[in-house]
Amino acid sequence: MSKKNINIVLILLVLFIWGSIGYTYFVKKETTQNIMPVTKKNVLTKYTMRKDTFELTNIKNPFKKVLVTPRIVTKKTTEKTVQSQRKVTAKAIWPSITYHGYVLSKGSSRKLGIINVNGKIMKKREKDIILETIKITKIFEDSIQFQFNNSTKTIKIK
């Protein structure tokens, strides 16, 4: 076939394709049918969750010759014992203590607290004992903490 004949056949093919597209778009009308609207029902589906359980088995390690079995750990149950009688402890009678501040020297990292116990001014450091029973546990910038007969007391600066 010559080149002229091939061009004529291709032009006719293109015209046929575009003609069919134009016919379906412009000329052919869609048939409309009276469609009844469908009412939707509220259907509640119940989903059940099944437990996904599986058993772990001991698989042999291909690089070791010995099969290692995991240890079985049993929970230890501890029962709390309830004391039938509570001990009545007498409240500790604290002496009158006032806190006046602290001093920090260059050579020492421990703070030196200035306190007034029963009208007597003392300079004491942390973990020192006053009146043979009161122990200074912590010295802060604005307060000091004492321990006396297993009870602690914090006194603020005045």
Over the stretch 40-52, which tens digit does the pLDDT of each residue have? 777 777 778 777 7
Q: How confident is the model at residue 29 (pLDDT cuts 50, 70, 90)?
A: low
Q: What is the pLDDT of residues 42-83, one digit of tens each?
A: 777 777 877 777 777 777 777 877 666 667 777 777 777 767
Per-residue pLDDT, 15: 97
Per-residue pLDDT, 86: 64
Alpha carbon distance 155, 99 (integer Å): 7
Q: CB within 8 A of 117, min separation 6: which ones?
A: 95, 96, 97, 130, 131, 134
Q: What is the pLDDT of residues 84-107, one digit of tens each?
A: 666 666 676 788 889 998 888 788
Amino acid, single-letter form, for residue 41: K
Per-residue pLDDT, 90: 66
Per-residue pLDDT, 30: 63
> What single DSSP character describes residue 21?
H
Of 110, 111, 145, 108, whose CA–CA distance to 130 is shortest?
145
Q: Which residue has the higher pLDDT, 30 or 138?
A: 138
Give this prediction's pTM. 0.42
Of 117, 115, 116, 135, whose CA–CA distance to 126 is shortest?
135
* Topology annotation, domain 97-156: SH3 type barrels. (2.30.30)
Report the DSSP beta bridge partners of residue 146. Answer: 136, 153
